[in-house]
A and B are shown apart, each in its own frame.
Chain A
Amino acid sequence: MEMVSEAKELPRRRLIYGVLYLLLLIFPFKAGPYWTDVATFFGIYVLLGLSLNIIVGEVGLFNMGHAAFYALGAYTTGILNTVWGIPTIWLLPVSGLVAGGFGYILTRPIIHLRGDYLLIVTIGLNEILRITLINDPWGLTGGPNGVLGIKRMRLGSLVINRPIHFYFLVLIVTTLVVVVLLRLQRSRIGRAWNYIREDEVAAEAMGIDVRSMKLLAFVLGAALAGIAGSIYATKMMIISPESFTFWESIVLFTIVILGGMGSIPGVIVGSAVMMVLPELLRDFMQYRMLFFGAAMVVMMVFRPQGLWPSKRWQLEMGRETEE
């Protein structure tokens, strides 16, 4: 496609990204199991952030209950594995499908709600699911204890149990997801999502089936979150409702906005801020979260477009400062 400045820049950017990716491949061999594990959890957050970014960033739907889909994936894996003994490797895609399916069923009746009404409903769905998991209605979810004894994934003779295995599992899945999202961003579907975010009425007048496109985004986002949940379940081997609270949803929401709506590198930066900043502030001891809250405000005030906004935003902000 024709974007003159981009064409010139492309080889250099490709090189930078290539080198960065190479570093990711070498990382676990140099870092030791602890940091590999830290990176794995970070990767799971990136995956969750990317999945929410489809809904919030690309389509502009306010979803503050994303942890519900994450939980659905984790519990699908947990329950099917411990009750029926289905190998967890198969459950990776199954969890995605189940979470996506629930995403469809749950959001279909509410997809027409605007902005903040959708926001409270997604919060409600998150809470309904969490409380249901705790109350353990059919003895499936283990109540507040959750599901335990989830088996590791097995690929032929390889059991995915060491930190480095999980690291590469997450890296592979995340890479795939990034490729999928990049391609979607530059497709008819991705553009349609952006049109809806920019102006729903105009998008509809342009012949975009707004309802279906919104649902598609929700289903895809839910399915990816479900896959992240499945990985989390086999990594932890035990899952409980307290990992899927409203607070978790807020963290994910913040990751997307802080990084920059609709921006894939933004999600990575946002996850890093939300996970690493509290650790860096550790020296401040009890003042840690105080600084963290203040930092959130300061970051938004000085970079309302996010830390690494998608290219269009940069373009626009650049213009505005020129004026």
Chain B
Amino acid sequence: MRKDSVVVMVLILGLLASIGTAAPKPIRIGLQGPITGPWAYEGEMAVNSVQIVADQINEAGGVLGRPIEIVIGDDQGSPRQGALVAQRMVSEGVVAVISSYGSSVTEPSAAIYEEAELLNIAYGATAERLTERGLKFFFRTCFRDDRQGQFFASLVDHVLKVKRVAIIHDNTTFAKGLAEAAKRFLEESPTAELVFYDAITPGEKDFSPILTRMRTTAPEVIYFTGYYPEAGLILYQARNLGIDALFVGGNAAINDEFVNIAGLDVAQGSIVTQEPLPTDLPYPEARDFLTEYIERHGEAPSTPWPVYAADALKVIAAAIQATGSTDSRVLGDYLREGLQDLPGITGPISFDPSGDRAGAIYRAYVVDDLGQLVPY
């Protein structure tokens, strides 16, 4: 008898205590990214970055008085896995998702989020067509490929002031999109002329046949929109074939490994068109963020993308705070019409009606004599 009543008492007390001290239910926000697989380093940096912003928000009292909890989903950089993760995010009942890195993964995921009417914001998916389909719940904090292509065309016209341009891509979604955009804008250029346009196969090593053919068109600038492993080889082999045209890479083409592969003396002077690196962002938010990131992880993020993921969380938090709602429809409407120049790490954030981020910031960097990227 007594034993039982003690048990009951304890239970009731426990229950009361748990109600009394119960933390407010957290707001769960999904982060879908390539945690493993070939882009694992991107996924890892995205998680780090988003966590920093989440912690900052929670320290400041959360959103609507509730803390933010990040639910991580690993899409491995594969479209099929992306669809699975999206399905899980939907069934886990998160209020919004930061998703994802890579257009081909983001696309099927976005389709599932659209069907489930769940707000999703991409941070590393730059294909133009993502926002050309009238998706209601898709936004992105990164910029579209065509803006970079446009930037390259204006770089050719106004800064480099050259006439003969060769463009090479590698037939991946991203590289081909960028190459096509650059081609489109170059064709409108009054002075510059596209003299060579072809694609290589990623993973191969010998590009001399295509370069030998390109040499006959005597380009002054080579714009390679693919990734750094091939970029390094192309530049090195071009020089061996006696091609001395200026080498310009898209935002995936040039990094320290590119310099390594091509060799410093060859790589020096190459130019890259890209979003400003986190270390070059002029905003106070960026400085704070970077300080925190370096403190936690020892070095700054090596690519631009993780910061866009962090900004996506800022956007979601701001929308929930402003509308007092976690309904994706309300949040989506707010992002389209209400949100104006939210101070993000990557600058002021607003969205146009299609879900694209308004404005664009691109920079040209050049490889200096130490192999570092410095503003051009």
Give residues in A with beta carbon < 8 Å to B: 32-34, 37-38, 41, 134-135, 143-146, 148-149, 161, 163, 235-238, 240, 242-243, 285
Interface residues of B in 130-150 (CB under 8 A from A): 133
Not counting A33-B88, A34-B88, A37-B88, a sample of 16 additional A-B residue pairs whose C-beta atoms are within 8 angstroms of each other reads: A38-B84, A143-B171, A144-B172, A144-B176, A145-B103, A145-B107, A145-B129, A161-B115, A236-B79, A236-B80, A237-B111, A237-B112, A238-B111, A240-B79, A242-B79, A243-B79
Q: With A and B bound together, what is the CA distance between A148 and B103 in angstroms?
A: 12
Q: With A and B bound together, what is the CA distance between A240 and B88 in angstroms?
A: 22
Judge whether B129 and A148 touch: CB under 8 Å.
yes
Residue numbers in A under 8 Å from B115 (CB-CB): 161
Residue numbers in A under 8 Å from B216 (CB-CB): none
Judge whether A148 and B107 touch: CB under 8 Å.
yes
CB contact under 8 A between A242 and B90, given known A145-B129, A148-B129, A236-B80: no
Interface residues of B in 80-112 (CB under 8 A from A): 80, 83-84, 87-88, 90-91, 103-104, 107-108, 111-112
* Interface assignment of B127: CB less than 8 Å from any CB of chain A: yes
Residue numbers in B under 8 Å from A33 (CB-CB): 87-88, 90-91
Judge whether A236 and B104 touch: CB under 8 Å.
no
Residue numbers in A under 8 Å from B176 (CB-CB): 143-145
* Interface assignment of B219: CB less than 8 Å from any CB of chain A: no
Q: Tell me which of A143, A145, A236 has the highest count of chain B C-beta atoms within 10 A of its own C-beta.
A: A145
Q: With A and B bound together, what is the CA distance between A161 and B114 in angstroms?
A: 12
* Interface assignment of B304: CB less than 8 Å from any CB of chain A: no
Residue numbers in A under 8 Å from B90 (CB-CB): 33
Q: Min CB distance, A132 to chain B, in Å?
A: 11
Judge whether B171 and A37 touch: CB under 8 Å.
no
Residue numbers in B under 8 Å from A240 (CB-CB): 79, 104, 107, 173
Q: Min CB distance, A77 to chain B, in Å?
A: 15
CB contact under 8 A between A243 and B80, given known A145-B173, A145-B177, A149-B133: yes
Judge whether A41 and B104 touch: CB under 8 Å.
no
Judge whether B127 and A145 touch: CB under 8 Å.
yes
> Do most interface residues of chain A lie in helix, strand or loop, or is the interface mixed?
helix
Q: Min CB distance, B128 to chain A, in Å?
A: 10
User: Considering only CB atoms, which chain B residue lies closest to A146 in the complex?
Assistant: B104
Q: With A and B bound together, what is the CA distance between A41 and B107 in angstroms?
A: 18
Q: How many residues of B contact A (CB 8 A)?
A: 25
Q: With A and B bound together, what is the CA distance between A56 and B256 in angstroms?
A: 46
Judge whether B108 and A237 touch: CB under 8 Å.
yes
Q: Min CB distance, B196 to chain A, in Å?
A: 17
CB contact under 8 A between A235 and B83, given known A144-B172, A145-B129, A148-B129: yes
The 10 closest A-B pairs by CB, nearest first: A34-B88, A33-B91, A237-B111, A144-B173, A37-B87, A236-B108, A238-B107, A238-B108, A134-B171, A145-B173
Q: With A and B bound together, what is the CA distance between A85 and B66 in angstroms?
A: 46
Q: With A and B bound together, what is the CA distance between A230 and B295 in angstroms?
A: 50
User: Considering only CB atoms, which chain B residue lies closest to A282 in the complex?
Assistant: B36
Residue numbers in B under 8 Å from A163 (CB-CB): 87
Contact of A242 among B83, B88, B104 (CB under 8 A): B104
Q: With A and B bound together, what is the CA distance between A137 and B360 in angstroms?
A: 32
Residue numbers in A under 8 Å from B80 (CB-CB): 41, 236, 243
Residue numbers in A under 8 Å from B172 (CB-CB): 144
Q: With A and B bound together, what is the CA distance between A161 and B103 in angstroms?
A: 22
Residue numbers in B under 8 Å from A134 (CB-CB): 171
Q: Min CB distance, A219 to chain B, in Å?
A: 27
User: Considering only CB atoms, which chain B residue lies closest to A136 in the complex?
Assistant: B176
What 0/1 pattern do residues 249 to 275 of B give for CB contact below 8 A with A? 000000000000000000000000000
Q: Min CB distance, A258 to chain B, in Å?
A: 20
Interface residues of B in 199-219 (CB under 8 A from A): 199
Judge whether B91 and A32 touch: CB under 8 Å.
yes
Judge whether B91 and A144 touch: CB under 8 Å.
no
Q: Min CB distance, B76 to chain A, in Å?
A: 10
Q: With A and B bound together, what is the CA distance between A236 and B79 in angstroms?
A: 8
User: Considering only CB atoms, which chain B residue lies closest to A142 in the complex?
Assistant: B129
Q: With A and B bound together, what is the CA distance between A49 and B199 in angstroms?
A: 34
Residue numbers in B under 8 Å from A235 (CB-CB): 83
Q: With A and B bound together, what is the CA distance between A41 and B108 in angstroms?
A: 14
Residue numbers in A under 8 Å from B91 (CB-CB): 32-34
User: Considering only CB atoms, which chain B residue lies closest to A149 in the complex?
Assistant: B133
Residue numbers in A under 8 Å from B84 (CB-CB): 34, 37-38, 41
Q: With A and B bound together, what is the CA distance between A224 and B199 in angstroms?
A: 34
Q: With A and B bound together, what is the CA distance between A32 and B171 in angstroms?
A: 38
Q: With A and B bound together, what is the CA distance between A149 and B176 in angstroms?
A: 20
Q: With A and B bound together, what is the CA distance between A143 and B115 in angstroms?
A: 25
Residue numbers in A under 8 Å from B83 (CB-CB): 37, 235-236
Q: With A and B bound together, what is the CA distance between A285 and B37 in angstroms?
A: 10
